[in-house]
Structure 1
Amino acid sequence: MKKTTYAIMMVLLSLAVVMPIAAGGSGERDATGTIGQLDPDILVFAYSPVEDPAVYEEVFAEFIDYLSEQLGRPVRYFGVRSYAAQVEAMRAGRLHISGFASGSVEDAVNTAGFVPQTAMGNENGMIGYRMAIIARKNSEIQTAEDLKGRTIPFVSESSGSGYFAPRALLYEEFQMLPNQDYDVLFSGSHDNSIMGVFYGDYEAAPVADVVIGRMHAGGRIDDPAGWMKTVYESPLFPSTAYGVSDKLTPELQQAIKTAFLEFDWEGTQLTMQWEQEDRFVEIDYERDWEVQRVIRRGSKSVAEILGE
């Protein structure tokens, strides 16, 4: 892998900034606002960057109206087009409430004073996904350590759960290095990796677990219970985190969090856009984002050892 690929990996895993983990950020971070003293007459909300922000402005319209009513002031939707712009807007005090995609949360916390409060979920808590290393039931492979000396089909060099996560976690937990303890090839997609294990072309493969269910539902593979076993499963990868700027007063921060947690999704656009979720649930940043920090650490270590 060339240095340019490693640079991309660092961006994707939010490795650009390594600062102390603190949900409220640091008062030395930014001179453009005072921590805990901002009480705007108009609040600004943004969802994470998407190709067409106007679509999500409509999706969140009912929720924005609800927030305005609950907080006793107008809340305006701001359509951001890049993660850098989203982080900078919060750092500068122009963005007050936002949903940051999972991979950008650490940068938002450490450089913009983002305070993660909630995520979308259901009665069982936050909904995310896991990286699973799967094999056929009749395989000799029983644990991740049994992958030593074998070939692992990663998805592609840009895949989070199909490349960055397994590469980092295999090193962090089992001290296994690519092209030293196991050989590497690329399948091109999660679907190809799963199909390869299903048909016996691959002995095992790391994939996003949610893709397995989708492929079974689509009739592309048999019921996994009949042919597949999971030899390794990662902690839950968190979803988009919703929260506030630490510049807001503590009272306003708490009022926003309460409003999120008490919002009734029934009959709203949110339920149509996110069919598995039906509420906002409270999150614990240090606990829920630990897997991202482990992957960051492991990715950096592997790259340094291999001279990438």
Structure 2
Amino acid sequence: MRTPRNRVLAVGAAATLALALAACGSGEDSAAPAEDPDEIVLSLVPSGDVDSITESAKGLESFLSDKIGIPVRAEVTESYAAAIVAMKSDQAQVAMLGPIGMVQAEDQAGAVPVLQSVRYGSGTYHTQWFTNDPDTYCTDEVKVVEGFKYCNGTDAAKTGPAGEEAIAKIKPGTSIAFVDQGSASGYYYPATQWSQVTGGDALVDLDAQFAGDHDAAILAVARGDYPIGVSYDDAREEVAADEPKVASDVVVFAYSTEIPNDGIVVAGNLSKELRTKVTDAFTAMAKDPKGLKTLEAVYEIEGLEKVDTAALKKAKSVEENFGE
């Protein structure tokens, strides 16, 4: 059964200008550790409906406050960039971010990655490329699996990459519905993949349009606004009920390489004791039936595990391709 791989959320290059400016003077923050706050602010970034994640976040506040022993307040930021800036300016002490966001929070805000999400037994996911023009981008027959359309072997592939011969057909100047300039699966990884496959410069050669979230990118292609879009796999399930064209007109034709799942970072200026309490609270939440339901409601998280530092290093290498 094909199911959504990730909701998330990846802070990334989109914020390069804002974060580069915010980074000036960051070296002065590494002196004595600050006194622990009386309240913890948890920064969240919506991958779809803002009202839905805001409501689900109430469960996070309640469970974490009880386990940590001080109030936890969740704040939904307006952008990926804002989440990192909030951590850098001590307006947030914890954030749930995508892999690019985790490494940037570490570099720019001195945050410490502590946990990583698990979905469907895996710590990775991939971008799906989709189109409303299968005649151009499908090299074989379109197949329908559980109501959704695939080609180029993506119906059978469990991991990426896949369909890269079709990615090579995307010509410079093509308008593409990316998600957000800070999203791993919605920008960083697919843009990097196109550059590697074609030898071009995605930052210069493609007509990048940013839909704002994964749902919006799918709807933009379904409604014919752009010929190609990207999202996590398979975000179509989130919007198909509201827009029938998603099932009839949106065909997945390629996958990116595997991407480490989103995770949790904690402010580096918190005491070691409080960082441990935060980490233990999230770990306990993932093992508690009621707590796990809350994590599923917020970001479709099915488990949490110790952060994969090697995988994040690979994500960092992707992030570095985008420069300053």
TM-score by length of 2: 0.59
- Identical columns (%): 12
* Distance in 2 separating the partners of 1:275 and 1:261: 15
Partner of 2:256: 233
What SS does structure 1 have at the residue aligned with 2:322? Answer: helix
Q: Equivalent of 1:207, from 201, 212, 230?
A: 230
CA drift at 1:46: 2.0
Unpaired runs of at least 5, structure 1: 1-7, 20-26, 69-73, 302-308
What SS does structure 1 have at the residue aligned with 2:289? Answer: coil
Is the alpha carbon distance of 1:185 and 1:17 closer, same or farther for their aligned partners in structure 2, counting shifts above 3 Å? closer
Partner of 1:304: none
Partner of 2:29: 30
Partner of 2:297: 273
CA drift at 1:132: 2.6
CA drift at 1:31: 4.1
Q: CA RMSD in A?
A: 4.7
Partner of 1:175: 199
Q: Equivalent of 2:245, from 217, 220, 232?
A: 220
* Distance in 2 separating the partners of 1:56 and 1:63: 12
Q: Is the 1:122–1:277 contact (alpha carbons within 8 Å) kept by the matching residues of 2?
A: yes
Partner of 2:115: 118
Partner of 2:67: 67
Q: Is the 1:117–1:244 contact (alpha carbons within 8 Å) kept by the matching residues of 2?
A: yes
* Distance in 1 separating the partners of 2:234 and 2:221: 13
What SS does structure 2 have at the residue aligned with 1:192? Answer: helix
Is the alpha carbon distance of 1:261 and 1:290 closer, same or farther for their aligned partners in structure 2, counting shifts above 3 Å? same
Unpaired runs of at least 5, structure 2: 1-11, 140-151, 153-162, 212-216
1:86-144 per-position Cα deviation (integer Å, ceiling 9, x unaligned): 32217xxxx6x512433543342123321111144445144765243557388348515
Report which stretch shifted further, 247-256 or 9-18: 9-18
Partner of 1:287: 311
Q: Equivalent of 1:45, from 40, 43, 46?
A: 40
Larger Rg: 1
Q: Is the 1:131–1:165 contact (alpha carbons within 8 Å) kept by the matching residues of 2?
A: no
Whether 2:283 is the aligned partner of 1:261: answer: yes
Is the alpha carbon distance of 1:285 and 1:63 closer, same or farther for their aligned partners in structure 2, counting shifts above 3 Å? farther
- Paired residues in the alignment total 263
What SS does structure 2 have at the residue aligned with 1:85? Answer: helix
What SS does structure 1 have at the residue aligned with 2:89? Answer: helix
Which amino acid in structure 1 is aligned with residue 121 of structure 2? N
CA drift at 1:261: 1.8
* Distance in 1 separating the partners of 2:282 and 2:260: 21
CA drift at 1:17: 7.9
Is the alpha carbon distance of 1:133 and 1:48 closer, same or farther for their aligned partners in structure 2, counting shifts above 3 Å? same
Which amino acid in structure 1 is aligned with residue 88 of structure 2? V
1:30-84 per-position Cα deviation (integer Å, ceiling 9, x unaligned): 24524xxx785x664222156899856632233224423xxxxx32224556432
* Distance in 2 separating the partners of 1:47 and 1:179: 32
What SS does structure 1 have at the residue aligned with 2:259? Answer: coil
Report which stretch shifted further, 80-89 or 123-132: 123-132
* Distance in 1 separating the partners of 2:313 and 2:130: 21
What SS does structure 1 have at the residue aligned with 2:321? Answer: helix
Partner of 1:11: 15
